[in-house]
A and B are shown apart, each in its own frame.
Chain A
């Protein structure tokens, strides 16, 4: 019978695996609905370990929105570690949900959210464990529709063979629209099977169905054309854009895990989208336009979320949180509200700007001032113009001086290596910046014991960005530049002990680059790597570059391509890119023009406070930038900080807390 709990069979295996608590579910605010009461049943997956996947906001938002529908049920699953994978196979148990421990194969829809391309092998593990054929064309009406979403899905071509459909962009309305279509199709007796269902979803412009498009290749291995093979669907599937974030204040009741996870805090997304125009940043390009939540909604979400979870830390999320038009008021008002409540607030993404230090000071009025992170991204001013990250060395010195003067003990600087046009000299300028930062810190704080951490990541060009045509630097080039930089800093007696280095080897970046800009032929590489044991490629201890390299040689070279062909090869303007038929709203000519501006080192201003530069998103998507200031203020909160203790000696009857709906049906 479908939908049954597998827990009784799973439980005896759990004492034999590492950290079994990650598989038992029971999180605060998790929802278990009766199987038979639902018409449309979703299994949502974040294809990485539970500790990484549970805090993911996208999954939590969709989980709550879907479960609010009376006849829709949504449960969650995460990647199982190899120790449990082996036991599941040995005992013939499938991939299961953590909510009610149901078999993933029993659901109607299997939605997988990809924040990073390195989760692709984990998708295959989950499909295989679930008993779902890896290849979409092998599936029958008995199998769930496999739907990919998330930022990486903006170039889903490398996994096109493995998924039935792809949602581009914001998922809130898309999952409800998909549920409507599935509900109607089921109520009609599932006419035409899964092909008809996919066609309906594609016609309603809810999803991109890779099987409805054919790709042809030229003799030189480049793509000749990508064409729809049906006439009844849009030739250019486009992304979903949620307008009015204030009407969608999710998650309302964030999940509270029992197991330890990477983010032990609650997050409130204060705006979506970014138009700063950093040319390397895929997130900034594909999530346009900027849509702010107003201070009133943010205040209410923080309050409701804290009450529902018991967390004592709140992160105000966005791609560049200090850019919210009301951030100063928000920071002060929230800091006032929670000053005595042992609740700490943080802004995870900040710019190099003294104003950020002011914000950080507000958020740490009575707390410890440990570390502040700034991201100049490029070592030299020239390079920062190329990437359109407009920060001067003077800005940085001024900002860190302010930080050290206000008692911050450590500054972390984030850079990328391998950016287009980069030379050794550009990277060596990171050492100069570090020296200036340490000097400024010593001067501002009045003592010598100042520390700065320089953290460096390898740049990976992504689809739908001006750098989508760029040659990716090879791991050898990146590793050599980073070695040069490290040697230079170590040889500098003045700062050698004050500067810490953090960087990763360049090789995982090469594979990320292959998957980020690959086409449908890369699927064979992914599948081969997976069959040879590839799992958890985002984890250093599991990642094997050799395995990927060998799979590329075996699967790509016969086609006239290679790992290098996909990564270190610069593309020409008219080359058909694998994702050109997918519409992120960005005008291709604008992207190319911006790429040329990058090569000339020309900067571009943010369209929030300068005229529109015609990236194309607003007219194509029928959207608009939605920003304040609204002039609203934080509404007062009743009870949580001002009221007396609920369990204290107060003689009046008091509600005893807010029990979580674990194990109960969702609120109507």
Chain B
């Protein structure tokens, strides 16, 4: 007979909160697993009343939404927690922020309501700094990329090497000169499978125009949300935001 965990089942979920956080500076080198581990430890240190799964090996109930890749910074990462006790969102935000390493910064916590977070996010806005790239070269490459209907690239994914088309996912690609010797690429990318990441777009620029930055690009995700007609993104927490000050649960 397999043993069953002794004692009562875990306390029920009384509330859910949604969190927007940033991954900044040297912490951009964290993988999604690293971020998840840091959050689990931070939540324990902040004594956030997490709800746990049942079973021999209970886990805090945390739902992640599309993590930025290792090496990419982000101002707009999202996660949802299930709580076993009421909590005040702003107090939770500041306690969790203080318990996470500097560079994992909790920007906003709101009570969860309405549609699932994943249903409110289908695109990302990126800013990619390209040190060592001249703006005119980038402009030519982007123009060539946008002229095409299809640009295939290859990348190692967790399912092995895959070839996929980058072009349809790119809703917007624009460029400008940065403040020093760098060029800046602005991107709006629709979330697809496999996800098209900034480095895939850069690989595509190499494919179409031979653009090869000599220094590593520095991508920052600025926004995630639902893509609107005009190419902007709707804030996924906007429908929940009015409740930010009240106690949830």
Residues of A within 8 A of B (CB): 7, 11-12, 14-16, 19-21, 24-28, 256, 258-260, 264, 306-312, 342, 365-369, 407, 640, 643-649, 654, 656-660, 662-663
- A28–B85 CA distance with the chains assembled, in angstroms: 27
Q: CB-CB contacts of B76-110 with A at 8 A, as 1s and 0s?
A: 00000000011110011011101101110000000
Residues of B within 8 A of A (CB): 3, 5-7, 26-27, 29-31, 33-34, 37-38, 40-49, 52, 56-58, 70-71, 85-88, 91-92, 94-96, 98-99, 101-103, 131, 215-216, 247, 249
| B residues in contact with A645, CB < 8 Å | 47-49, 85, 87
- A630–B200 CA distance with the chains assembled, in angstroms: 64
B60 nearest in chain A by CB position: A342
**Contacting pair A21 B31 (CB below 8 A):** yes
**Contacting pair A657 B99 (CB below 8 A):** yes
- A310–B99 CA distance with the chains assembled, in angstroms: 9
- A365–B3 CA distance with the chains assembled, in angstroms: 11
- A259–B37 CA distance with the chains assembled, in angstroms: 9
Given known A310-B42, A342-B58, A369-B3, contact A260–B99 (CB-CB < 8 A): no
- A645–B49 CA distance with the chains assembled, in angstroms: 6
Given known A369-B3, A656-B94, A663-B102, contact A649–B85 (CB-CB < 8 A): yes
Closest 9 CB pairs of A and B: A310-B41, A656-B95, A368-B56, A310-B45, A657-B99, A649-B86, A657-B46, A645-B49, A646-B47
- A192–B86 CA distance with the chains assembled, in angstroms: 67
CB distance from A311 to the nearest CB of B (A): 7
CB distance from B203 to the nearest CB of A (A): 14
**Contacting pair A12 B215 (CB below 8 A):** yes
**Contacting pair B95 A646 (CB below 8 A):** yes
| A residues in contact with B247, CB < 8 Å | 649
| B residues in contact with A16, CB < 8 Å | 216
- A80–B161 CA distance with the chains assembled, in angstroms: 28
**Contacting pair B45 A307 (CB below 8 A):** yes
- A192–B3 CA distance with the chains assembled, in angstroms: 70
| B residues in contact with A306, CB < 8 Å | 44
- A366–B57 CA distance with the chains assembled, in angstroms: 9
| B residues in contact with A7, CB < 8 Å | 26
**Contacting pair A11 B26 (CB below 8 A):** yes
A646 nearest in chain B by CB position: B47
**Contacting pair B40 A260 (CB below 8 A):** no
Given known A310-B40, A342-B58, contact A647–B26 (CB-CB < 8 A): no
- A466–B169 CA distance with the chains assembled, in angstroms: 70
A24 nearest in chain B by CB position: B26
User: Which of A24, A643, A648, A660 sits near B87, CB closer than 8 Å?
Assistant: A648
**Contacting pair A24 B27 (CB below 8 A):** yes
**Contacting pair A647 B101 (CB below 8 A):** no
Given known A368-B56, A656-B98, contact A260–B34 (CB-CB < 8 A): yes
- A83–B178 CA distance with the chains assembled, in angstroms: 31
Could you say which of A28, A647, A659 has the most chain B C-beta atoms within 10 Å of its C-beta? A647
CB distance from A257 to the nearest CB of B (A): 9
CB distance from B2 to the nearest CB of A (A): 8
| A residues in contact with B47, CB < 8 Å | 640, 643, 645-647, 657
| B residues in contact with A21, CB < 8 Å | 29-31, 34, 70
Apart from A309-B41, A647-B87: 13 A-B pairs, beta carbons within 8 A: A12-B131, A12-B215, A21-B34, A25-B26, A26-B102, A309-B45, A310-B99, A366-B7, A368-B57, A645-B47, A647-B91, A647-B95, A657-B46
- A647–B91 CA distance with the chains assembled, in angstroms: 6
| B residues in contact with A369, CB < 8 Å | 3
User: Which of A12, A25, A648, A659 sits near B216, CB closer than 8 Å?
Assistant: A12
CB distance from B132 to the nearest CB of A (A): 9
| A residues in contact with B6, CB < 8 Å | 365-366
**Contacting pair B99 A407 (CB below 8 A):** no
Given known A28-B101, A662-B101, contact A646–B46 (CB-CB < 8 A): yes
User: Which of A25, A366, A647 sits near B48, CB closer than 8 Å?
Assistant: A647
User: Which of B5, B26, B86, B91 sits near A26, CB closer than 8 Å?
Assistant: B26
- A16–B199 CA distance with the chains assembled, in angstroms: 13
| B residues in contact with A28, CB < 8 Å | 41, 101
**Contacting pair A648 B46 (CB below 8 A):** no
**Contacting pair A260 B37 (CB below 8 A):** yes
| A residues in contact with B91, CB < 8 Å | 647, 654, 656
- A271–B52 CA distance with the chains assembled, in angstroms: 34
B46 nearest in chain A by CB position: A657
| B residues in contact with A24, CB < 8 Å | 26-27, 29
A644 nearest in chain B by CB position: B85
**Contacting pair B86 A648 (CB below 8 A):** yes
Could you say which of B52, B56, B96 has the most chain A C-beta atoms within 10 Å of its C-beta? B56
**Contacting pair A367 B41 (CB below 8 A):** no
| B residues in contact with A662, CB < 8 Å | 101-102
B84 nearest in chain A by CB position: A645
- A307–B56 CA distance with the chains assembled, in angstroms: 24
User: Which of B29, B33, B92, B94 sits near A14, CB closer than 8 Å?
Assistant: B29
CB distance from B41 to the nearest CB of A (A): 3
A7 nearest in chain B by CB position: B26
| A residues in contact with B87, CB < 8 Å | 645, 647-649
Given known A28-B101, A366-B5, A657-B45, contact A259–B34 (CB-CB < 8 A): yes
- A15–B98 CA distance with the chains assembled, in angstroms: 28
Given known A24-B26, A367-B57, A649-B249, contact A658–B85 (CB-CB < 8 A): no
| A residues in contact with B103, CB < 8 Å | 26
A25 nearest in chain B by CB position: B26
| A residues in contact with B101, CB < 8 Å | 26-28, 258, 660, 662
**Contacting pair A367 B5 (CB below 8 A):** yes
| B residues in contact with A11, CB < 8 Å | 26
| A residues in contact with B49, CB < 8 Å | 645, 647-648
| B residues in contact with A656, CB < 8 Å | 46, 91, 94-95, 98-99
| A residues in contact with B102, CB < 8 Å | 26, 662-663
**Contacting pair B96 A15 (CB below 8 A):** no
Given known A12-B215, A24-B29, A407-B3, contact A256–B96 (CB-CB < 8 A): no
- A20–B70 CA distance with the chains assembled, in angstroms: 9
| B residues in contact with A20, CB < 8 Å | 29, 70-71
- A659–B85 CA distance with the chains assembled, in angstroms: 23
| A residues in contact with B40, CB < 8 Å | 310, 312
A312 nearest in chain B by CB position: B44
**Contacting pair A648 B3 (CB below 8 A):** no
| A residues in contact with B215, CB < 8 Å | 12
| A residues in contact with B58, CB < 8 Å | 342
CB distance from A304 to the nearest CB of B (A): 12
**Contacting pair A15 B7 (CB below 8 A):** no
- A573–B47 CA distance with the chains assembled, in angstroms: 61
User: Which of B46, B88, B95, B99 sits near A649, CB closer than 8 Å?
Assistant: B88
Could you say which of B45, B57, B99 has the most chain A C-beta atoms within 10 Å of its C-beta? B45
Query: 19 pairs across A/B with beta carbons < 8 Å?
Result: A12-B215, A15-B216, A19-B31, A24-B29, A26-B26, A27-B101, A256-B41, A258-B38, A260-B33, A264-B37, A310-B40, A311-B41, A368-B56, A640-B47, A645-B47, A645-B87, A656-B98, A657-B42, A657-B46
Could you say which of A27, A264, A656 has the most chain B C-beta atoms within 10 Å of its C-beta? A656
Given known A260-B33, A646-B47, A648-B85, contact A26–B92 (CB-CB < 8 A): no
| B residues in contact with A19, CB < 8 Å | 31
| A residues in contact with B26, CB < 8 Å | 7, 11, 24-26
- A646–B52 CA distance with the chains assembled, in angstroms: 18
| A residues in contact with B85, CB < 8 Å | 644-645, 648-649
- A472–B173 CA distance with the chains assembled, in angstroms: 67
| A residues in contact with B45, CB < 8 Å | 307-310, 657-658
**Contacting pair A657 B249 (CB below 8 A):** no
| B residues in contact with A643, CB < 8 Å | 47
